[in-house]
């Protein structure tokens, strides 16, 4: 479990698998690199993967409170990939990590062989394509923001995970997990400008259309409507994108349904051999 400076941040990462393809896994907000363990195990004959902790997550250093957390997360990924010096890799991203993967493909296409994205929460796409959804004012997110601004971190985490959690009710979570979620809940706001406001101009600048690598966009069959709108919008804009749905799953399917997500990932990667 190495730790060193990557993207200017003390970064922790883990390695898994011994397959012929190099992969980088980027976890969701409030998660950590270890959340990929079961998916990585299901792909260990196909990929050799690195999964790293985003700023403020897992064992990486805290977010500094002022920097663009998506930009810093992308810089960490660039350094992790460039250090290996083995050409482009398959990038597997979940939720906020999926938006980091998109930004990596835009800014450093030389490092990206393919993108496998499970529900990238690029809400700017939904806002552009379906303004009637008013994605920034979902009732659950209003409750989350109200609680956060009131200093009620437990209440904010409860509201947030009621939509973007793994389907378990807040009261059923172990105390240590609730404490960890509440401690990191401010990191959701850290990424808001990038995913709601398109801070990297990936959408408004037409950069998505310039992504030339193959892309798999996955979602859970039980996920919010905004996710479908986002994936549809990305699929229309990215030339080599295709979609898949994990029925009976929600936003946290890489953790709750790792076998199904890994199977879809395997089929996609095998359709696009490494060269």
Indicate the domain borders of the chain: 3-131+194-271
Place of tokens 């730790």: 3
Average pLDDT score over residue span 178-188: 96
Report whether pLDDT(1) > 70. Answer: no
Share of the chain above pLDDT 70, in %: 99
Q: For domain 3-131+194-271, say whether CATH 3.40.50.11540 is its number.
A: no
pLDDT for 22: 96
pLDDT for 101: 98
Confidence at 271, pLDDT banded by 50, 70, 90: very high
Predicted structure pTM score: 0.97
Task: Indicate if the alpha-carbon torsion angle 136, 137, 140, 142 is positive or negative.
Answer: positive
Confidence at 84, pLDDT banded by 50, 70, 90: low
Are 268 and 46 spatial neighbours (Cβ–Cβ below 8 Å)? no
Report whether pLDDT(116) > 90. Answer: yes
- Cα–Cα distance measured from residue 243 to residue 144, given in angstroms and rounded to the nearest whole number: 30
Beta-carbon contacts of 180 under 8 Å, excluding residues fewer than 6 positions away, are none
Report the chain's mean pLDDT, rounded to a whole number: 95
Beta-carbon contacts of 48 under 8 Å, excluding residues fewer than 6 positions away, are 15, 16, 17, 18, 19, 20, 21, 22, 23
Place of tokens 């990932």: 265
């Amino acid at each position: 479990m190495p730790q060193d400076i990557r993207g200017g941040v003390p970064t922790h990462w883990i390695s898994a698998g011994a397959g012929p393809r190099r992969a980088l896994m980027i976890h969701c907000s409030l998660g950590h690199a270890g959340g990929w363990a079961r998916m990585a195990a299901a792909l260990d004959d196909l990929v050799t993967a690195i999964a790293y902790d985003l700023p403020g997550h897992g064992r990486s250093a805290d977010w500094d409170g002022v920097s663009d957390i998506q930009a810093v997360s992308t810089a960490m990924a660039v350094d992790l990939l460039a250090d290996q010096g083995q050409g482009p890799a398959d990038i597997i991203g979940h939720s906020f990590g999926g938006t980091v993967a998109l930004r990596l493909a835009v800014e450093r296409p030389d490092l990206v062989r393919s993108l496998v994205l499970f529900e990238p929460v690029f809400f700017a796409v939904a806002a552009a394509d379906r303004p009637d959804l008013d994605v920034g004012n979902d009732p659950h997110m209003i409750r989350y923001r109200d609680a956060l601004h009131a200093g009620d971190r437990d209440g904010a985490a409860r509201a947030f995970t009621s939509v973007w959690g793994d389907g378990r009710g807040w009261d059923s979570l172990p105390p240590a997990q609730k404490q960890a979620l509440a401690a990191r809940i401010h990191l959701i706001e850290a990424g808001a400008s990038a995913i709601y406001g398109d801070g990297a101009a990936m959408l408004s600048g037409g950069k998505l259309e310039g992504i030339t690598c193959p892309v798999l966009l996955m979602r859970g069959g039980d996920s919010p409507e905004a996710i479908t709108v986002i994936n549809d919008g990305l699929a229309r804009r990215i030339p080599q994108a295709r979609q898949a749905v994990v029925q009976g799953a929600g936003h946290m399917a890489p953790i709750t349904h790792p076998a199904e997500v890994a199977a879809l990932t395997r089929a996609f990667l095998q359709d696009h051999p490494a060269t």
